[in-house]
Amino acid sequence: MIYDTIYAHQDKKFDIKAGIKSTALAWGDKTKPILYGLGTAQVAAFTTAGFMSGFGPFFYLGAAWGFSRLFSQIRKGDRSFQFYGECLKILKS
């Protein structure tokens, strides 16, 4: 959902013309806080699953690395992910 929403922000002008109801349009300026909330829920679910499965420290190190990348991508976006080039850079990183 996070990746898809950042991607959808590139096509907002097209979505408006085509009448498509995307998360980028629905969330607008609230996108960044919503993405942080979704990311936090994802971290909680992932680490809980790892704990319940008895995974060791390497699981948590890998999860910490992956989620730090996820949150840095969200942080890099401006307030509403309004610039096409910026979204593209985030998705390619």
47-82 residue pLDDT tens: 999 999 999 999 999 999 999 988 988 887 765 566
Domain boundaries, the chain: 2-92
User: Is it the case that residue 83 has pLDDT exceeding 70?
Assistant: no
CB neighbour list of residue 81: distance below 8 Å, 6 or more residues apart: 6, 9, 24, 31, 32, 87, 90
DSSP codes of every residue in 53-67: HT--HHHHHHHHHHH
Query: Residues 2-11: pLDDT tens digits?
Result: 878 877 787 7
Query: Cβ distance 43 to 21 under 8 Å?
Result: no
pLDDT (tens digit, 9 = 90+) per residue, 10-56? Answer: 778 888 888 888 888 888 888 889 999 999 999 999 999 999 999 99
pLDDT at site 75? 83
Q: How far, CA to CA in Å, does 38 sit from each of 6, 29, 74, 79?
A: 13, 16, 11, 16
